[in-house]
Amino acid sequence: MAKKTLGIGMVGARYGARMHYANYMNLTPGLVEIRGVCSLTKVSADAFAHDMGIPFATTELDKLLVRDDIDVIDICSPPATHHEIAIKAAKAGKHIIMEKPLTGYFGEPGDPEPIGLHVARSKMREGARRNAEAVRNAVRANNVLFCYAENWVYAPPIVKMRNLIAASKGSVLEFRAEENHSGSNSVFSKEWKSMGGGALLRMGAHSVGACLYLKQWEGQQRRGKSILPVSVIADTADLIHTDASDRARKENAHQWISSDPVDVEDWANVVIRFDDGSRATVLVSDVGLGGLNTRVTAYMTDGVIKANMTANDVIETYAVDPNTFASENFIEKLETKAGWNRPSCDEDWFRGFAQEIEDFIHAIQDDREPLAGIDLAVDCVNVIYAAYQSAEEGRIIHL
């Protein structure tokens, strides 16, 4: 019996939405149909609809939610809008696909601005926790599926790492996860009220999510129950505005780095302790040149496994002129195509974007939980905001 074509309503019309759309188009024909898009402005909604051939564009979310032919709401809007849209979608009986992070703290009436410079991280942590639990409660109360777009969980290098861990007889003593590049191009990334944090939330959600997922999975394999995080200790900084970068600014030697925070961090280091005594170390940075760098290393009792989601040497190029290969994508955030470079063959596949969309659609079709769901999304928020509190208070925070 043929499966029903799922109607998708997209919320957001920028980079994330366009990436999701591209990967929907790689699915088996007939599985999905993009039937509408909602964006903050009519201009962006109409442009996205025109470019992608979507028949309906609006600035009003309710006009998507009331449509019987839309089964799934795909949320690719700025993080400050995530939890409210998700709750409305769940109450409307729509399944949810959401770009990370699930939510955060975005300020309350009376908070002095910029909130990242004035609001205590303990207050932020409690607010983020409330938002996350409100989404989880809405999802469960309305019996809809929540698909958390954490692509690292689906990336082939991480899948192979998981298989290798299963093949060994040893245990993971430490995960080391890293993501860095030269700064976000998003106008929303500079302020806490829009993003809910800086590099730690925006980028660290990947590293933290992968480590939490892998430890939970390892626990289920080794002892029949998940291995859970119990505490964090962290440090954060806005490195591009420190004394260390003064000389670079005077000499105009920092033009390759686009990071320019108002009240968020562009660097963070977090150590997570798990209930089996193992650790995960997470390092994220918005001030690292050389293109996108994403990797996870598993240090085990009987081996070491290194998973690299971006750089590989399947293809190598050399160019004197950076415009030689200008029209072809290499890797995200690469500053120049001059010199030696290693372009990704298929960045969406290698980083797990294609696989996550495929899993989400089949999970909804088959009425099963996706590999990355609401619990992982909530756990990531809780760990990251505990890390923010740890960095501010200079102490271990217990979960």
Distance, CA of 166 to CA of 184 (rounded, Å):
36
**Structural domain includes residue 311:** yes
Together in a domain, 240 and 341: yes
Together in a domain, 124 and 172: no
SS3 323: coil
Q: Indicate the average pLDDT of the chain.
A: 94
Higher model confidence: residue 232 or residue 257?
A: 232
SS3 53: coil
Share of residues in the chain with pLDDT > 90 (%):
82
Structure tokens at 381: 């928020």
pLDDT tens digits, 341-358: 888 888 888 899 999 999
Together in a domain, 263 and 123: no
Question: Contact 80/196 with Cβ under 8 angstroms?
Answer: yes
Together in a domain, 267 and 184: yes
* pLDDT for res 187: 79
* pLDDT for res 313: 79
Question: Contact 272/229 with Cβ under 8 angstroms?
Answer: yes
Question: Residue 74 maps to which CATH number?
Answer: 3.40.50.720
**Structural domain includes residue 36:** yes
**Structural domain includes residue 369:** no
Of 76, 321, 287, nearest in space to 182 by CA: 287
Question: Contact 50/384 with Cβ under 8 angstroms?
Answer: no
pLDDT tens digits, 137-159: 999 999 999 999 999 999 999 99
Residue type present at position 127? G
Together in a domain, 144 and 173: no
pLDDT tens digits, 157-189: 999 999 999 999 999 999 999 999 998 877 789
Mean pLDDT confidence for 109-125: 96
Together in a domain, 146 and 159: no
Q: How confident is the model at residue 398 (pLDDT cuts 50, 70, 90)?
A: very high
Share of residues in the chain with pLDDT > 70 (%):
99
Question: Contact 129/381 with Cβ under 8 angstroms?
Answer: yes
Neighbours of 123 (CB within 10 A): 14
pLDDT tens digits, 42-67: 999 999 999 999 999 999 999 999 99
Together in a domain, 131 and 231: no
Together in a domain, 255 and 171: yes
**Structural domain includes residue 364:** no
Q: How confident is the model at residue 1 (pLDDT cuts 50, 70, 90)?
A: low
Of 123, 150, 177, which residue is a domain's last?
150
Q: How many domains does the chain have?
A: 2
The string of DSSP letters for 245-265 reads GHHHHHTT--TT-----SSS-
Q: Where are the alpha helices (DSSP H) in 203-295?
A: 204-223, 246-250
- Is it the case that residue 360 has pLDDT exceeding 80? yes
Of 79, 182, 96, nearest in space to 139 by CA: 96
Of 150, 184, 199, which residue is a domain's last?
150
Together in a domain, 288 and 256: yes
Together in a domain, 169 and 119: no
Together in a domain, 127 and 271: no
Question: Contact 192/114 with Cβ under 8 angstroms?
Answer: yes
Instruction: Give the bridge partners for 50, in sequence order.
Output: none
Q: How confident is the model at residue 273 (pLDDT cuts 50, 70, 90)?
A: very high
Residue type present at position 68? D
Mean pLDDT confidence for 244-273: 88
**Structural domain includes residue 82:** yes
Q: How confident is the model at residue 254 (pLDDT cuts 50, 70, 90)?
A: confident
* pLDDT for res 188: 84
Together in a domain, 102 and 176: no
* pLDDT for res 249: 74
Q: How far is CA 363 from CA 4, 6, 143, in A?
A: 13, 12, 14
